[in-house]
Amino acid sequence: MNKLIAPSLLAADFGNLQHDVEMVNNSKADWFHIDVMDGVFVPNISFGMPVIKAIKKHSKKTMDVHLMIVNPDKFIADFKKVGADILTVHYEACPHLHRTVQAIKAEGMKAGVSLNPHTPIAVLEDIIEDLDLVLIMSVNPGFGGQSFIENTYKKVQQLKALIEFSGSNALIEVDGGVTDQNIEKLSEAGVNAFVAGSFVFKSEDPTKTIANLKDLVSPS
Protein backbone atom coordinates (compact mmCIF):
# COMPACT_ATOMS: atom_id res chain seq x y z
CA MET A 1 0.00 0.00 0.00
CA ASN A 2 0.91 3.64 -0.32
CA LYS A 3 3.25 4.89 2.42
CA LEU A 4 2.20 8.09 4.16
CA ILE A 5 4.27 11.04 5.39
CA ALA A 6 2.78 13.07 8.26
CA PRO A 7 4.78 16.20 9.16
CA SER A 8 4.34 17.04 12.84
CA LEU A 9 3.24 20.64 13.35
CA LEU A 10 4.70 20.57 16.87
CA ALA A 11 8.00 21.38 15.13
CA ALA A 12 6.55 24.14 12.91
CA ASP A 13 7.10 27.88 13.32
CA PHE A 14 4.18 28.86 15.57
CA GLY A 15 4.67 32.52 14.69
CA ASN A 16 4.14 31.69 11.03
CA LEU A 17 1.86 28.67 11.23
CA GLN A 18 -0.22 29.44 8.14
CA HIS A 19 2.97 29.54 6.05
CA ASP A 20 4.02 26.10 7.32
CA VAL A 21 0.51 24.65 6.83
CA GLU A 22 0.50 25.86 3.23
CA MET A 23 4.00 24.44 2.72
CA VAL A 24 2.69 21.01 3.81
CA ASN A 25 -0.40 21.43 1.58
CA ASN A 26 1.85 22.01 -1.43
CA SER A 27 4.29 19.21 -0.58
CA LYS A 28 4.26 15.44 -1.09
CA ALA A 29 3.04 14.99 2.50
CA ASP A 30 -0.17 13.02 3.06
CA TRP A 31 -1.34 14.03 6.56
CA PHE A 32 -0.94 16.79 9.10
CA HIS A 33 0.12 15.29 12.45
CA ILE A 34 -1.07 17.43 15.35
CA ASP A 35 0.09 16.68 18.90
CA VAL A 36 -2.22 17.75 21.72
CA MET A 37 -0.53 17.79 25.16
CA ASP A 38 -2.02 18.75 28.50
CA GLY A 39 1.00 19.10 30.80
CA VAL A 40 -0.36 16.19 32.88
CA PHE A 41 -0.07 13.03 30.78
CA VAL A 42 3.14 14.45 29.30
CA PRO A 43 5.39 17.19 30.72
CA ASN A 44 4.56 19.76 28.05
CA ILE A 45 1.63 21.80 26.77
CA SER A 46 0.93 22.28 23.05
CA PHE A 47 -2.08 23.01 20.82
CA GLY A 48 -5.63 23.61 21.97
CA MET A 49 -8.89 23.65 20.03
CA PRO A 50 -8.63 27.21 18.59
CA VAL A 51 -5.24 26.46 16.99
CA ILE A 52 -6.48 23.19 15.48
CA LYS A 53 -9.54 25.00 14.12
CA ALA A 54 -7.22 27.59 12.52
CA ILE A 55 -5.04 24.85 11.00
CA LYS A 56 -8.15 23.13 9.60
CA LYS A 57 -9.20 26.37 7.90
CA HIS A 58 -6.05 26.26 5.74
CA SER A 59 -5.45 22.51 5.61
CA LYS A 60 -6.11 20.51 2.44
CA LYS A 61 -4.95 17.17 3.84
CA THR A 62 -6.00 14.62 6.45
CA MET A 63 -5.86 15.93 10.03
CA ASP A 64 -4.16 13.24 12.14
CA VAL A 65 -4.69 14.35 15.76
CA HIS A 66 -2.71 12.65 18.54
CA LEU A 67 -4.04 13.19 22.07
CA MET A 68 -1.39 13.01 24.80
CA ILE A 69 -3.87 13.95 27.49
CA VAL A 70 -5.69 12.45 30.47
CA ASN A 71 -9.47 11.93 30.19
CA PRO A 72 -9.62 12.18 26.38
CA ASP A 73 -13.26 10.98 26.39
CA LYS A 74 -14.39 14.43 27.55
CA PHE A 75 -13.12 16.05 24.36
CA ILE A 76 -13.89 13.56 21.56
CA ALA A 77 -16.85 15.51 20.15
CA ASP A 78 -14.89 18.78 20.40
CA PHE A 79 -12.03 17.41 18.29
CA LYS A 80 -14.50 16.31 15.63
CA LYS A 81 -15.94 19.84 15.58
CA VAL A 82 -12.55 21.49 15.05
CA GLY A 83 -11.66 19.18 12.16
CA ALA A 84 -9.93 15.96 13.27
CA ASP A 85 -10.16 13.14 10.71
CA ILE A 86 -8.16 10.62 12.74
CA LEU A 87 -8.19 10.76 16.54
CA THR A 88 -5.54 8.80 18.43
CA VAL A 89 -5.63 8.29 22.19
CA HIS A 90 -3.02 6.72 24.46
CA TYR A 91 -3.59 3.22 25.80
CA GLU A 92 -1.99 4.41 29.04
CA ALA A 93 -4.58 7.21 29.46
CA CYS A 94 -7.73 5.15 28.79
CA PRO A 95 -8.96 2.73 31.48
CA HIS A 96 -12.02 1.96 29.31
CA LEU A 97 -10.28 1.85 25.94
CA HIS A 98 -12.99 -0.04 24.07
CA ARG A 99 -15.58 2.57 25.05
CA THR A 100 -13.25 5.41 24.02
CA VAL A 101 -12.57 3.85 20.61
CA GLN A 102 -16.28 3.33 19.95
CA ALA A 103 -17.00 6.95 20.94
CA ILE A 104 -14.39 8.19 18.41
CA LYS A 105 -15.96 6.08 15.66
CA ALA A 106 -19.47 7.22 16.62
CA GLU A 107 -18.35 10.79 15.87
CA GLY A 108 -17.33 9.73 12.37
CA MET A 109 -13.56 9.82 12.90
CA LYS A 110 -11.01 7.07 12.41
CA ALA A 111 -9.80 5.67 15.74
CA GLY A 112 -6.16 5.21 16.69
CA VAL A 113 -4.39 4.00 19.82
CA SER A 114 -0.86 5.02 20.75
CA LEU A 115 1.64 3.09 22.86
CA ASN A 116 4.48 4.62 24.86
CA PRO A 117 7.94 3.06 24.37
CA HIS A 118 7.66 0.86 27.49
CA THR A 119 4.16 -0.50 26.69
CA PRO A 120 4.13 -3.94 25.04
CA ILE A 121 2.15 -4.68 21.85
CA ALA A 122 0.30 -7.53 23.60
CA VAL A 123 -2.04 -5.06 25.38
CA LEU A 124 -3.79 -4.49 22.03
CA GLU A 125 -4.72 -8.14 21.41
CA ASP A 126 -8.38 -7.71 22.38
CA ILE A 127 -8.98 -4.42 20.56
CA ILE A 128 -6.79 -4.53 17.45
CA GLU A 129 -9.74 -5.48 15.19
CA ASP A 130 -11.58 -2.27 16.18
CA LEU A 131 -8.68 0.05 15.38
CA ASP A 132 -7.96 2.01 12.21
CA LEU A 133 -4.44 2.92 13.33
CA VAL A 134 -1.82 2.08 15.94
CA LEU A 135 0.76 4.76 16.71
CA ILE A 136 4.02 3.49 18.17
CA MET A 137 5.99 6.13 20.02
CA SER A 138 9.64 5.79 19.07
CA VAL A 139 10.61 8.46 21.62
CA ASN A 140 9.16 9.24 25.06
CA PRO A 141 6.26 11.59 24.34
CA GLY A 142 6.24 15.22 25.36
CA PHE A 143 9.03 16.96 23.47
CA GLY A 144 10.25 17.20 19.90
CA GLY A 145 13.79 16.59 18.72
CA GLN A 146 14.49 13.40 20.71
CA SER A 147 16.58 10.43 19.58
CA PHE A 148 14.94 7.36 18.06
CA ILE A 149 14.53 4.29 20.33
CA GLU A 150 15.99 1.26 18.52
CA ASN A 151 13.56 -1.25 20.12
CA THR A 152 10.88 0.29 17.88
CA TYR A 153 11.74 -2.04 14.97
CA LYS A 154 10.93 -5.10 17.08
CA LYS A 155 7.65 -3.57 18.25
CA VAL A 156 6.63 -2.79 14.67
CA GLN A 157 7.31 -6.38 13.62
CA GLN A 158 5.29 -7.70 16.59
CA LEU A 159 2.43 -5.34 15.77
CA LYS A 160 2.43 -6.31 12.11
CA ALA A 161 2.22 -9.99 13.12
CA LEU A 162 -0.72 -9.24 15.45
CA ILE A 163 -2.55 -7.26 12.74
CA GLU A 164 -2.08 -10.06 10.19
CA PHE A 165 -3.06 -12.77 12.68
CA SER A 166 -6.25 -10.97 13.72
CA GLY A 167 -7.27 -9.83 10.24
CA SER A 168 -7.26 -6.20 11.38
CA ASN A 169 -7.03 -3.36 8.85
CA ALA A 170 -5.14 -1.08 11.23
CA LEU A 171 -2.34 1.05 9.81
CA ILE A 172 0.99 1.22 11.66
CA GLU A 173 2.27 4.72 12.37
CA VAL A 174 5.56 5.67 14.04
CA ASP A 175 6.24 8.98 15.78
CA GLY A 176 9.59 10.25 17.02
CA GLY A 177 13.08 10.57 15.61
CA VAL A 178 12.11 9.58 12.06
CA THR A 179 14.78 10.65 9.53
CA ASP A 180 16.12 9.67 6.12
CA GLN A 181 18.50 7.35 8.00
CA ASN A 182 15.83 5.04 9.48
CA ILE A 183 12.66 5.49 7.39
CA GLU A 184 13.48 2.70 4.92
CA LYS A 185 14.19 0.19 7.69
CA LEU A 186 10.94 1.19 9.41
CA SER A 187 9.06 0.75 6.14
CA GLU A 188 10.55 -2.71 5.65
CA ALA A 189 9.50 -3.65 9.20
CA GLY A 190 5.90 -2.80 8.32
CA VAL A 191 5.27 0.89 9.04
CA ASN A 192 2.60 2.56 6.86
CA ALA A 193 2.67 6.16 8.16
CA PHE A 194 5.69 8.18 9.30
CA VAL A 195 5.51 11.22 11.57
CA ALA A 196 8.44 13.57 11.07
CA GLY A 197 8.76 16.83 12.97
CA SER A 198 12.13 18.43 13.61
CA PHE A 199 13.75 16.58 10.70
CA VAL A 200 11.32 18.29 8.31
CA PHE A 201 10.77 21.73 9.79
CA LYS A 202 14.36 22.36 10.91
CA SER A 203 15.75 21.44 7.49
CA GLU A 204 16.84 24.08 4.98
CA ASP A 205 14.17 23.07 2.47
CA PRO A 206 11.23 21.33 4.22
CA THR A 207 9.35 20.71 0.95
CA LYS A 208 12.36 18.89 -0.48
CA THR A 209 12.91 16.97 2.77
CA ILE A 210 9.30 15.72 2.67
CA ALA A 211 9.72 14.70 -0.99
CA ASN A 212 12.94 12.83 -0.15
CA LEU A 213 11.25 10.93 2.69
CA LYS A 214 8.29 10.06 0.46
CA ASP A 215 10.57 8.87 -2.35
CA LEU A 216 12.56 6.64 0.04
CA VAL A 217 9.43 4.67 0.99
CA SER A 218 7.25 5.14 -2.10
CA PRO A 219 9.52 5.41 -5.13
CA SER A 220 7.54 7.00 -7.96
**Marked catalytic residue, from 35, 38, 85, 132:** 35
Beta bridge partners of 173: 135, 193
Q: Which residues of 82-117 are buried (b: 16+ CB within 10 A; e: fewer)?
A: bbbbbbbbbbbbbeebeebbebbbeeebbbbbbbbe
User: Any idea of the CA torsion for 106, 45, 62, 118, to the nearest 10 degrees?
Assistant: -80
Is 38 a catalytic site residue? Answer: no
> Which SS3 state, helix, strand or coil, does residue 148 take?
coil
Is 30 a catalytic site residue? Answer: no
SS3 content of the chain, % helix, strand, coil (to 5): 45, 20, 35
Backbone Cα Rg of the chain: 16
Which residue, 176, 206, 210, 173, is CA-closest to 13?
A: 206
Which phi and psi angles does 197 have, rounded to 5°?
A: -110, -85
**Marked catalytic residue, from 20, 85, 132, 175:** 175
Give the residue numbers annotated as catalytic, written as ranges: 35, 175
